[in-house]
Amino acid sequence: RDSAAEAKAVLRTPAPVSMDAIVGQERAVGVLRNAIASERLHHAWIFHGPTGVGKFTAALAFAAVILDPTSAPEQTLMGAGEIAPDPASETQTLLRAGTHPDLHVIVKELARFSEESSVRASKLTTIPRDVIDKHLIRPARLAPVMGTDARASKVFVVDEAELMDRSASNAPVQNAILKTLEEPAPGTVIVLVTSSEDRLLPTIRSRCQRVGFGPLDEDAMRRWVSDANIDAADAELAWLIEHAEGSPGKLMRARETGLYEWHRTLSPLLDKADRGQLPLGLGATMGELVDGWAKSWVDAGSKAGENRSKEAANRAGAAQMFALVARRYRSQLREPRLTTPAVRAIDLVGRAERLLGSNVQLKLVMDDLAAGLSGRG
């Protein structure tokens, strides 16, 4: 079977948006527009910044322009404008369908389609060497399928690039792409998308053009929410925008995982903890919310034929819980009288994260956090 074709069909790449549709990242988009307009397009890029602020979206928009031979300055009443492709072109049609043969999107989920059983059974916490070999290094050596005279003939986008395994037992994964980054085939462009640039080897960072993406400001977030047509009550929407801290991706994850309901459930209990009381069931409630979310996530994976780890799900759910609680107390730092207890509460969340990272049972971690919050003052 053609596992690469199967993977592309199942893990369908989202249709790219236009560069104009990227909200709140004017500086980054300006850098990319200037690069597109230049005579020599750099072949290796790092798009770095917080999770969920549009890096991957920008990478696809960038690819859509540089892969399309119709990309040319738009004609406006003021003369020639920004370079953009013809929306009706063959390239854009293929990109919208997720079938462009020269756009290669590398994600950790490609491990599920590996010919190696050990890779297929992995918990998707890294991007293994097998995936990098099959979907980046080998295709980068091949001639492009379409062979156009566009600015780029092949584009590779590695999402969550920091997950390329650099453990002691598998250090060659990041090292393996160095030669490809240094001496790619003509017309090849590689974009590494990362929210943890420091986890990329210095030798990788030194070979790439870096583009920084930051959190969206409040006005940009509200524009993004308006464009996204999110169906939510005003109270929920206001809470989601504040919780997201400038990250549309974080807002969508909070919306999809019911984090607002967690907030409503926990707020009365945390109010009591703020008054120095130990609310009955606070620790248990936090643990039950995390456990219930983790079970649902694993069950959804099983129905989709995915091998999802309950341990990894618990950690992901706990991370959401810790972020929810920490955000509550970060908002209190603006009030001088609450600063000291808020800092202590944030420290307690950090302690809970370390305990869970040391394999302490989830229930005990949440009970300890609840006890600490009620007595922190």
The answer to whether 105 and 16 have CB atoms below 8 angstroms apart is: no
Q: Which helix (H) or strand (E) holds 250?
A: helix 248-256
Q: Which helix (H) or strand (E) holds 97?
A: helix 90-97
The answer to whether 220 and 194 have CB atoms below 8 angstroms apart is: no
Q: Which helix (H) or strand (E) holds 307?
A: none
Among candidates 51, 8, 54, which has minimal Cα distance to 228?
54
Q: How far apart are CA 3 and CA 117, in angstroms?
A: 13
**Residues sharing a CB contact under 8 Å with residue 50, sequence separation 6 or more, in sequence order:** 195, 213, 214, 215, 246, 247
Reported pTM: 0.86
How many other β-carbons are positioned within 10 Å of the β-carbon of residue 99?
A: 14
Q: How far apart are CA 85 and CA 98, in angstroms?
A: 17
Q: How far apart are CA 68 and CA 85, in angstroms?
A: 6
Among candidates 321, 307, 309, 301, which has minimal Cα distance to 363?
321
**Residues sharing a CB contact under 8 Å with residue 294, sequence separation 6 or more, in sequence order:** 310, 313, 314, 316, 317
The answer to whether 215 and 249 have CB atoms below 8 angstroms apart is: no
Q: What is the CA radius of gyration of the chain?
A: 23
How is the chain split among helix, strand and coil, in percent rounded to 5?
55, 10, 35
Q: How far apart are CA 73 and CA 322, in angstroms?
A: 47
Output DSSP code: residue 228. Answer: H
Looking only at the bridges linking them, the beta strands covering 209-212 and 44-48 are: parallel
How far is CA 222 from its chain centroid? 20
Sheet bearing 209-212, strands edge to edge: 103-106, 154-158, 188-194, 44-48, 209-212
Among candidates 13, 210, 7, 196, which has minimal Cα distance to 105?
13
Q: How far apart are CA 72 and CA 87, in angstroms?
A: 12
How many other β-carbons are positioned within 10 Å of the β-carbon of residue 90?
A: 14
Residue 203 token pair: 């030798």
Q: What spatial distance separates the first Cα and last Cα of the chain, rounded to whole Å?
A: 62
Running along the chain, 377 residues long, what does each successive block of 10 average in pLDDT? 63 89 95 92 96 96 96 67 92 94 93 85 83 93 87 95 76 86 93 95 94 95 90 91 92 89 95 89 94 86 70 88 93 92 95 93 94 79
Q: How far apart are CA 86 and CA 160, in angstroms?
A: 30
Q: How far apart are CA 130 and CA 43, in angstroms?
A: 23
